[in-house]
Structure 1
Amino acid sequence: MWNPKFVLLCLLLFLTGVVVAPIQFFFPIYVEEELGKMVWHAALLRAIPIALGGFFALIGGGLCDRFGKKMTFLIGMTGAVVVGGVFVVELDMIILCILCYQGVAVGLRTAGGQSYLIQSVDPKALGLATAIYFQSRNIGEAIGNAIGGELITSFDYSFVGYTTIITMSILMFMAIWMLPTDTQNKESSDMKLEAKESMMVMLAHYQKMIRRPNIFILCCIRFFSTFSWGNVSLMVPVLINRNTSVRLTGYYGTVSLIFSGISSVLTGWVCDKIGSRIPAIYIHFLILLSIVGIASSVNSTSLLFISGVLATGTAWALSITMPRFINEFSSSEEKGRGVGITHLAWSAGFMSGQLVGGALESVNIALPFIVAVVAVMVSTVFAFILIRWIPASD
């Protein structure tokens, strides 16, 4: 598992997480405090880029299978370079353009990174490797959130924005130089045929994939569980900031991501031992418990903090099960597309959760979390269907 490809991939994700985390985490607070807009406005600004990210994950999956995973991943990293601009400019249209480009890039980076991961490690160690892959970025984000809260308090948002642009430009050149090229059998007739395919043919492959019951159920789980996470990730930092300060909100992000690292590594280890099906069920119940805790403690900072940390950890733990399912349900020639189609479901769920959460927050602060509970219950039903009717395979 600990080969140069995997180690350098995780290192790049860690460093990117440190640099970019404050932009992502504090954006709703920035919109509310600096731009004087409602939380719904922040959700709307995020919605279109998230949708673009989902669509371009499909394209990214095809690019991975055609032209290589490293190239797709590196193109995706360019989004992290420009995203610092959202804290520098104050015009909605420019912010939206920056976020749209980032959404496109995230879709490519997700498809490239996860496909590169699947190729780089032994399938028997994929659960633990997936946990380390995701948590490399999360640990970086945990550090970045704490640093970001301090920098915003001591300086301002624009200082964080400029720092992000400069630092990510340096990391981009490091990635081009350091990351090993992924191996492909470019001489095979299949690869030559694939390179000639049109976009419509590539999309036809996705249409065939989604008709398979195992892929369809997996996408449903990804959509509904991420819908709830979209709600939580938008609202909890805003609520903590309203009750306390930016500094404590930053440390909430740090603690929640550290806990998610612990829960993810544990989940990956368990999945390598017993598979992903049973852990996925138990994780759904923990997600449900955490969101109920948030809904009942919106005016209590301490309970909100604890419930939010649990929600973050369990959401990431469920994500750890996904690459194992993708690896199981897709052939060797369609791993990239397997990542792409499930990321589309993730993007659709996250976008819907953020939009619904932002809209319902102005009606009643508990409503977003009530809807999130319903979404998790639906996802749990699909998880039971997966266990009962889709046979496990090696």
Structure 2
Amino acid sequence: RSIPAEETKTNHLVLLARPNVRLLLAIRFLPTCYWGTATLLIPLLIYRASHSLTLAADYSAVSLTIAAVTQLITGRLADKFGPRRPTLIASSCVAVSAICIGIWSDSVAGLFLFGTTGAAAAWSVSTMMPRLIDAITGPLEKGRMVGMAHLAWSLAMLGGSLWGGRAVEWDAGLPFFVVAVGCVATVGCLVIFFRRMERQQVIG
């Protein structure tokens, strides 16, 4: 439904009371926990497996380059098909990548392949955030919603990095298996989110 102007003069607590807002914050938070873990650990694991700082740097350059191109493609697909399919596909790819990195955490090839796939997918999910925020907020509250979403992102990056740095001392794959649970949950949150949007006729 469209949001009347009088409903847009809200504070953060009022926004948090909305189920759609809580879903969106979960969608922002959970895969970013993976990204915090991956950003810290994948270059370190590549170095551990290859003993090459150059290879670790090459991974960062390649993954960010491919992610940048993927974001352009994701935006184009969203314009053509709407945000549902690109966001669900990208979120599913993040979950699969996290699981595969956990399995092949001692393989340079596996870390390169699934790390790059995960980076591209995670940035694609991020690309969809403005579209999703626009769907659930009125014109006078979008800024607050963006701020809350960025807070969720920052907390997830912090938590993912701290978790990864501690858990990797126990087992290299463990950090990724744990954050993969959140990534799978993200897909479920998205399904619920888009069903609610469809019922409210906000997203076509």
TM-score > 0.5 by shorter chain: yes
The one of 192, 195, 198 aligned to 1:388: 195
Which aligned segments of 4 or more residues in structure 1 are displaced greater than 3 angstroms? none
> Does structure 1 conserve the Cα–Cα contact (< 8 Å) formed by 2:106 and 2:172?
no
Q: CA deviation at 1:389?
A: 2.1
For 1:325, the equivalent position in structure 2 comes to 132
For 1:283, the equivalent position in structure 2 comes to 90
The residue type equivalent to 2:202 in the other structure is S
The residue type equivalent to 2:49 in the other structure is N
Q: Which SS does the other structure have where 1:365 is aligned?
A: coil
Q: CA deviation at 1:220?
A: 0.8
Q: Any idea what the Cα deviations from partners look like across 1:307-351, whole Å, max 9, x if unmatched?
A: 111111000010011011112222222221121011111112221
The one of 241, 249, 254 aligned to 2:47: 241
Q: How far apart in 2 are the matches of 1:389 and 1:330?
A: 14
For 1:297, the equivalent position in structure 2 comes to 104
2:18 matches 1:209: no
Q: How far apart in 2 are the matches of 1:377 and 1:293?
A: 13
Cα-Cα RMSD: 1.6
Q: Which has the larger radius of gyration?
A: 1
> Does structure 1 conserve the Cα–Cα contact (< 8 Å) formed by 2:37 and 2:176?
yes
Q: Which SS does the other structure have where 2:11 is aligned?
A: helix
* Identity of matched residues, %: 33
Q: Any idea what the Cα deviations from partners look like across 1:57-84, whole Å, max 9, x if unmatched?
A: xxxxxxxxxxxxxxxxxxxxxxxxxxxx
Equivalence map 1:54-203=2 (5 Å): none
Q: How far apart in 2 are the matches of 1:339 and 1:351?
A: 18
Q: How far apart in 1 are the matches of 2:183 and 2:110?
A: 21
Q: Any idea what the Cα deviations from partners look like across 1:355-382, whole Å, max 9, x if unmatched?
A: 1111111111111011011110111111
Q: How far apart in 2 are the matches of 1:273 and 1:393?
A: 17
2:149 matches 1:338: no
> Does structure 1 conserve the Cα–Cα contact (< 8 Å) formed by 2:94 and 2:183?
yes
For 1:230, the equivalent position in structure 2 comes to 36
Q: How far apart in 2 are the matches of 1:215 and 1:387?
A: 12
Equivalence map 1:349-364=2 (5 Å): 349-364=156-171
TM-score between the two structures when normalised by the length of structure 1? 0.47
Q: Which SS does the other structure have where 2:140 is aligned?
A: helix
Equivalence map 1:252-263=2 (5 Å): 252-263=59-70
2:187 matches 1:374: no
> Does structure 1 conserve the Cα–Cα contact (< 8 Å) formed by 2:32 and 2:153?
yes
Q: CA deviation at 1:390?
A: 2.7
Q: CA deviation at 1:243?
A: 2.3
Paired residues, what number?
A: 192
The residue type equivalent to 1:209 in the other structure is L
For 1:80, the equivalent position in structure 2 comes to none
Q: CA deviation at 1:383?
A: 0.7
Structure 1: where are the runs of 5+ without partners? 1-201
